[in-house]
């Protein structure tokens, strides 16, 4: 396997690629943390609950993205032959960085307009970002549209589980 342009010959990341990886994953993590705080405020505004909910949901989001990366790599032979797991996660992060827009809209809706809409923006963001990651995967996999199915279906499951965990948290508080 040849090193990608982002890697040195020994497999380590070059400076610019490492900075890009850190920037993408920091943005994605920050967005999920903000959305988790906003969602937690909608369930129970007490600071202790919001903090615990935000930490748990951020951990869930990062684990879900990691699992989605494993699923994509295991079902996409073209990516499996050309990329390793960390590079597959980078593709996901580049797709999920669009979550910034949904986070800003959720912040505006919740804090600026007083709407209780963070959950809606979270679900829409997860699904849209899954499709964006899928589009990037299609372009990396020789244009085979079938490769968009896995990230979209995985993101649907991710969004559904986020909703289910939120409903369980709400039932536990009430």
Each residue's pLDDT expressed in tens, for the chain with a length of 174 residues: 444 445 444 445 678 888 888 999 999 999 999 999 999 998 998 889 999 999 999 999 999 999 999 998 888 777 777 778 888 888 899 999 999 999 999 999 999 999 989 999 999 999 999 999 999 888 877 667 778 888 999 999 999 999 999 999 999 988
Asked if the structure places residue 47 within a domain, the reply is yes
Angle at 152 between CA 17 and CA 90, to 5 degrees: 10
Asked if the structure places residue 149 within a domain, the reply is yes
pTM of the model: 0.86
- E strand or H helix at 134, and its extent? helix 118-140
Asked if the structure places residue 5 within a domain, the reply is no
Domain count, the chain: 1
Asked if the structure places residue 2 within a domain, the reply is no
Asked if the structure places residue 161 within a domain, the reply is yes
Asked if the structure places residue 9 within a domain, the reply is no
Q: In sequence order, what are the residues at sequence separation of 6 or more whose Cβ sits closer than 8 angstroms to the Cβ of residue 67?
A: 154
Asked if the structure places residue 38 within a domain, the reply is yes
* Upper half-sphere CA count for residue 99 (Cβ side, 13 Å): 31
Q: In sequence order, what are the residues at sequence separation of 6 or more whose Cβ sits closer than 8 angstroms to the Cβ of residue 120?
A: none
Determine the structural domain holding residue 145 and report its residue range: 15-173
Asked if the structure places residue 4 within a domain, the reply is no
């Amino acid at each position: 396997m040849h090193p990608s342009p982002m890697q040195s010959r020994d497999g380590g990341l070059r400076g610019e690629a490492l900075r890009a990886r850190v920037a993408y994953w920091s943005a994605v993590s920050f967005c999920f943390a903000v959305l988790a705080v906003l969602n937690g405020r909608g369930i129970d505004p007490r600071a202790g609950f919001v903090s615990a909910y935000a930490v748990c949901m951020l951990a869930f989001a990062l684990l879900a993205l990691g699992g989605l990366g494993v699923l994509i790599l295991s079902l996409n032979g073209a990516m499996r032959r050309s990329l390793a797991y960390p590079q597959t996660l980078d593709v996901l992060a580049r797709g999920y960085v669009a979550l910034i827009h949904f986070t800003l809209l959720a912040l505006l809706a919740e804090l600026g307009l007083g709407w209780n809409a963070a959950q809606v923006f979270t679900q829409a963001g997860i699904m849209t970002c899954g499709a964006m990651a899928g589009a990037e995967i299609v372009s990396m996999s020789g244009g085979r549209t079938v490769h968009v199915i896995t990230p979209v279906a995985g993101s649907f499951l991710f969004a559904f589980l986020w909703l289910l965990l939120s409903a369980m948290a709400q039932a536990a508080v009430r």
